[in-house]
Structures are given as C-alpha cells and as structure tokens.
C-alpha cells in the first residue's frame, strides 16, 4: 500500500543482470528493484496503475530526504512498500520472479518496461505529484481529512500528505 517494508536480510531474487541469474536484493539494479515493487504492489492493475506506482517511487526519489535518494533506497525503506515485508505473501514471489516464467513473466516484463522508462526519466507522472497511495479497500490513518489527487485502478493517490 505504499507504506510497508523490511529489507534487513539478504534475500535471493530472480533475474540479476541476466534473466537466468540469481542476485541478492542489494545487487539488483534500480530498474530491477522498481520492477519488482511495481509487480508486488500492482500486478493486477492496468498499465496506468502500474505506472502510477512507479511515479510515486520517482516522486519520493526526487524529494529525497527521509525516503532516500535512490530508487532502491525508496523501494526498500522499511515500512514503505508492503510487498518487501518479510512476512508479506508477495515477498517470496519477488524473490523468485523471472521473465522466463510462463505464469508471471509477461506481467513482470511489463513492470520491467515501466521501471526502465522511469529510470530513464521517460515516464510521465500520472499521479499529480503523489507521494502516497493506498488500495481502495483500505483506509490508513494518514488519509484522515485528505482528498485523493487521483484514483487509478484499485488505488487512491495523495499529493497532500507530508
């Protein structure tokens, strides 16, 4: 939900620099970390929804400060993206994902394409500068008295949360 992670352990994840390699999380490129974050947070969303998750990450990178100053630091910051939590059911999926897997590969390839565009500064922000989001089915404490900047797919995005 854009707010939940723990990356203290070294985990093995599929697709390091080559689709058939395995790499520790700390050795993945920013594009790989972002693609896995998009997959973990929005794999059931349309392309616009996946791009919106990437936009939130990139907005946080640009803002820097508490969130970190790189894509990997933002995505893997404890407590931010729940798909990276050790106890999240998405975590094992992220650890073994590969574009060669016939079940998840095509969707992951879309996530990787979006992440690559974001890393190259070619992705248009469709969230109106949002730093936060949550699923439509949840209502985190921080949304109290806030109006979403935009709703895309199954997520509400906010650009007014400090």
Do residues 128 and 149 touch, judged by C-beta distance below 8 A? yes
**Using one digit for the tens of pLDDT, what is the confidence trace for 55-83?**
999 999 999 999 999 999 999 998 899 99
**Using one digit for the tens of pLDDT, what is the confidence trace for 91-106?**
888 878 878 877 778 8
Give the residue from 31, 39, 17, 40 showing the smallest Cα distance to 86. 40
Rounded Cα gap, residues 154 and 136, in angstroms = 5
Whole-model pTM: value is 0.83
């Amino acid at each position: 939900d854009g707010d939940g992670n723990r990356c203290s352990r070294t985990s093995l994840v599929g697709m390091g620099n080559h689709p058939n390699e395995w790499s520790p999380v700390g050795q993945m490129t920013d594009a790989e970390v972002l693609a896995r974050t998009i997959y973990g947070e929005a794999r059931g969303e349309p392309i616009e929804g996946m791009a919106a998750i990437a936009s939130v990450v990139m907005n946080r990178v640009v803002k820097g400060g508490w969130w970190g100053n790189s894509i990997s630091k933002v995505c893997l910051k404890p407590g931010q993206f729940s798909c990276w939590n050790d106890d999240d059911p998405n975590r094992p999926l992220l650890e073994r994902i590969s574009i060669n897997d016939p079940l998840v590969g095509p969707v992951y390839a879309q996530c990787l394409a979006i992440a690559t565009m974001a890393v190259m500064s070619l992705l248009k922000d469709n969230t109106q500068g949002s730093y936060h989001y949550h699923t439509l089915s949840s209502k985190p404490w921080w949304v109290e008295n806030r109006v979403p900047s935009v709703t895309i797919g199954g997520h509400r995005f906010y650009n007014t949360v400090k």
